[in-house]
Amino acid sequence: MKPWAFVAVMLGFIAAGTWLAVTGDGVARWVGGGGAAFFAVGLVYGLRDLLGSRPERQPATAEDRAPVDMTPKPWMLLVGVLLLVGFGVAATVFGEGRARWLGVGALAGAAFGTASTAWKQRADRRWGRPRSTVAPDPLPAELRSDEWFGYEWEPGVDQPLTAAEEDLLDALYIAARSWPADHVESYAYRDDDGGLAAGIHVRDQTEILEIRLRLAEEENPGGRVEQTLRRPVNRVEWWHRDRPYAVRYEFADTTEGLVEAFEAQWAPSGLHDELIRTGRARNGGWIQTAALSEPDAVVAVRADGRQFETPPLPDFLWYQCPLERRATD
């Protein structure tokens, strides 16, 4: 809440309580007086915190300054709602004319405020809010794994490893032990031609990167995989009405896309049809997120092979990007 809004609301409650205490009788007077006193104390404490946050009273360095938190404490909200309900009931039952209408308005305001706050908290817990993040600094300790490129073969169906293939996997395994393995899955398998191949999956809330290697054709498979695993990855988000409608994972250093999603029902009205009409869709009508405008949030997902905690997203239907760069860059 903004400081000026806080002061205005508190003054309004104080004025309403004072008016009821002066014009009311019996219970209405006690409720009005108690409410006015409570909100007057709250205003004094709020002004004290606000005035105490002036720059001349803050530490000299900007890093040491704490922002002013005008958010009411939960107990203050509870007491305030109870007083507002009590005020409304007293004014409605014991008041006449304008006093009764004021009581009805107070009850309606308390009900609306409580319902809207509960709805907003539920929505924030479910969807979160668009906010950009950057890679933590310093980076946490590197995660490594001793489980790389497991090869399971079925007798009579798959060919067992030859001595040369075992040497290839052993060399790759030794190199891989120095790679970061945070949320990385790897395996070895036979490709369609019967050659030995290796695959690596990198996962966030979806599979964001897949690397496949035909080992007999790779000059330096370990070097290429390690370089790719260490590239920074961002999650780019477009939001409308407190909900993401388009998301894209991309390499942060080149903005090349990895996977993307677009949900037409959550997008601004007419945007999906406009993108289709202007040829911004792939075969099957899948929207190219590279054609969208400046994103609302850019969230760091990976850097130097490590995955970071990211705000959750709803479930999307993900599609692979053809490693295209964003049109805005």
Query: Going by C-beta distance under 8 Å and a sequence separation of 6 or more, which residues neighbour residue 53?
Result: 66, 68
- Predicted confidence (pLDDT) at residue 38 exceeds the cutoff of 80: no
Looking at residue 234, its pLDDT comes to 94
pLDDT per residue over 173-221, tens digit each? 888 888 877 888 888 888 888 888 888 989 877 888 888 888 888 888 8
- Predicted confidence (pLDDT) at residue 76 exceeds the cutoff of 50: yes
Residue 89 or residue 250, greater confidence: 250
Looking at residue 118, its pLDDT comes to 62
Q: Which residue is associated with the tokens 């479930």? A: 315
Helices 74-94, 27-51: inter-axial angle, 10-degree rounding: 150
Query: Going by C-beta distance under 8 Å and a sequence separation of 6 or more, which residues neighbour residue 207?
Result: 201, 259, 318
pLDDT-above-70 percentage for the chain: 71
Looking at residue 31, its pLDDT comes to 73
- Predicted confidence (pLDDT) at residue 259 exceeds the cutoff of 80: yes
- Neighbouring CB atoms inside 10 A of 84's CB total 23
Average pLDDT over residues 151-163: 77
* pTM, to two decimals: 0.59
Residue 76 or residue 306, greater confidence: 306
Residue 77 C-beta-side C-alpha neighbours within 13 Å: 10
- Predicted confidence (pLDDT) at residue 166 exceeds the cutoff of 60: yes
- Predicted confidence (pLDDT) at residue 59 exceeds the cutoff of 70: no
Average pLDDT over all residues of the chain? 77
Question: Any idea of the CA torsion for 312, 314, 320, 323, to the nearest 10 degrees?
Answer: -40
Looking at residue 75, its pLDDT comes to 61
pLDDT per residue over 87-125, tens digit each? 777 767 776 666 676 677 767 776 766 666 665 666 555
